[in-house]
Amino acid sequence: MENLDWIVVGSYFILLGSIAWWASKKQNSTKDYFLAGRHAAWFIVGASLFASNIGSEHIVGLAGNGATSGMAMAHYELHAWIMVLLAWVFVPFYYKSGVYTMPEFLEKRFDARSRWTLSIVSLIAYIFTKVSVTVYAGALVFMTLLPDTFGSPDNAFWVGAITTVILTGIYTIMGGLRAVLYTEVLQAIILIIGSCFITFIGLDLLGGWSELKLILGENKEQFELWRPIVQEGIPWWKNNDFPWLGIMIASPVVGIWYWCTDQYIVQRTLAARSLKDARRGALWGGFLKIWPIFIFLIPGLIGYALHQKGLMLLPTKVEGIDSDQVFPTMVSTLLPIGLRGLVVAGLLSALMSSLASLFNSCATLFTLDIYSKLKPNKSQKHYVSVGRLATSIVVICGLIWIPIMKAMAGGGVYKYLQQVQGYLAPPITAVFLLGLFWKKTNSTGAFFGLISGFILGISKLLIEAIVNFNSIQSGVLKNIADFNFLYYSGILFLISVIIMIVTSLLTQKEEENDCGLSYDTLTEEDKKEIRESWNYWDILATVVILGCVLGIYLYFSYWL
């Protein structure tokens, strides 16, 4: 990093701080702090959805997986079609219900048991997966770009981790969701520009797109979009090379949970100034979601190709290329002075936008779904203060968990994140889908389905931890641990659905739910309101998004 790079990074932080300071002046109620006063336009909502999704773990991990696993993770990045579902299927119910959080929606649709269950599980998951993984990936960037600035690479790791967590926590505590939304617009722009430079400069050095395809074609099986179900000598259920059937089963389950039911994401649509803005914001975010393949995953492929040609040396470990070091190495190696600072600012943007979103979502969940139930009838300013305190606690927990996360993330952080989410997502996806599309789903069915699914998901995680920690080489526990996480995610979803359906039918006479929050119970007035919230522009945007997703699938299915 040269002086000009530091000037670029410093200028970015000054601008970011100014926006947060402006936003902090308008925090007088829970609606202001947690939903930005519900005044966000569709452009702001969509940019925030994109920036919240694209964190440093996304850039670092996705580029790394591109270099080691090719297009396998592209399926998760083509979830723009699921954002279309968010816009057309889920947003009308969320916005119409007037809720602040997803657990609150479950309480309105079912009862308080489901709300408490989802709130507690979501908070635990955020702290020990998303916060820690995001910080870990961002700290890796510091370790690679500034190895000697703070005495050693390890010192650089900790300085980067602690500094970014604290700075992000400060501006999130100050400005609430309004600060998060408006800073994320800036961050999304910087993020896209910085990553585009990596792609263009890397391709130019390599010799163009045709040269990239030629090099990757020499090891075609490693980089294909669709992987075989069975590998030679490996049972189908132990094949962890992203078999296409497992991807097609698990990817939609995780995608619907993440994009359509997770507080971390959906909170942005709830901040929209109208139902029309909420829908169009989701569609705008869906269009932006198409591009990470080209600006994050493709650079990983380019890095691999440059490494193979001897034009750039990537760090390696026993298993091969160190995937988590690919993108930071490309930044430090390929970019000229000034541009390097811009991309570092983009990486910091990714880290801070994701952390800010997480911090605010955690504060919202704790304050409105837990604290306000324990301490009702307090003033609006009191709840805002509690929200700020909750954010501070999440910041501290994230810092405490970093050493453990550093020890756990021996493989690629992006794959690790998808694996953990694959165990947590199925019961949540099941309860929201059944809640919206089957009016006979009742509170007892929802509660038992959630609890059963969470227990089965956490059990798989614990068994894997026990087997890996004790180096168990055979037996029942080893077989369970080796069962492909993609298939397990699908089975867990199916089990959760069956439990919810059976339990609801068995207890149907005890309780009936006609809350107007399922498609079967919509009134004519509700249908009219939803219909008036869209026009042909929304349909055109939907066609463009789905057409782009289909085109990308078709091209990369036959590109090598």
Q: Which residue has the tokens 């909502």?
A: 45
pLDDT, average across residues 87-107:
83
Flag whether 278 is in a domain: yes
pLDDT, average across residues 487-512:
88
Q: Report how far residue 303's alpha carbon sits from residue 413's, in angstroms, rounded to the nearest whole number.
A: 18
Angle at 272 between CA 270 and CA 277, to 5 degrees: 120
428-437 pLDDT tens trace:
999 999 998 8
Domain count, the chain: 1
How buried is 233 (Cβ within 10 angstroms: 0-12 exposed, 13-18 middle, 19+ buried)?
exposed
Per-residue pLDDT band at 33 (split at 50, 70, 90): very low
Position 36 scores a pLDDT of: 44
Quick check: 280 pLDDT over 80? yes
pTM over 0.95: no
Position 398 scores a pLDDT of: 66
Flag whether 351 is in a domain: yes
pLDDT, average across residues 420-425:
86
Flag whether 522 is in a domain: no
Q: What is the mean pLDDT of the chain?
A: 80
195-238 pLDDT tens trace:
788 888 889 999 999 999 999 988 888 888 998 888 877 888 88
pLDDT, average across residues 457-469:
81
Quick check: 183 pLDDT over 50? yes
Q: Give the CATH number, domain containing residue 306.
A: 1.20.1730.10
DSSP result, 179-221: HHHHHHHHHHHHHHHHHHHHHHHHHHHHT-HHHHHHHHHTTHH
pLDDT, average across residues 172-183:
59
How buried is 336 (Cβ within 10 angstroms: 0-12 exposed, 13-18 middle, 19+ buried)?
exposed
Q: Report how far residue 261's alpha carbon sits from residue 86's, in angstroms, rounded to the nearest whole number.
A: 9
pLDDT, average across residues 502-511:
80
Flag whether 331 is in a domain: yes
Q: Which of 39-43, 408-412, 443-447 has the lowest mean pLDDT?
A: 408-412
Quick check: 324 pLDDT over 90? no
Nearest to 150 by CA among 134, 162, 168: 162
Flag whether 341 is in a domain: yes
Could you list the residue range(s) of the whole structural domain that residue 57 is in? 3-414
Amino acid at 159: V
Flag whether 175 is in a domain: yes
Flag whether 289 is in a domain: yes
Annotate 299-334 with b (16+ C-beta within 10 A) or e (fewer).
Answer: bbbbbbbbbeeeebebeeeeeebbbbbbbbbbbbbb
Span between the terminal Cα atoms of the chain, in Å: 37
Q: What count of other Cβ atoms lies within 10 Å of the Cβ of residue 269?
A: 27
Q: Is 36 left (phi over 0), alpha (psi -120 to 50) or beta?
A: left
120-156 pLDDT tens trace:
888 777 776 677 677 776 677 677 666 666 777 777 7
Ranges 64-68, 123-127, 306-310, 430-434, most confident = 430-434
Q: Which of 3-17, 246-260, 449-463 has the lowest mean pLDDT?
A: 3-17
Flag whether 555 is in a domain: no
pLDDT, average across residues 30-58:
68
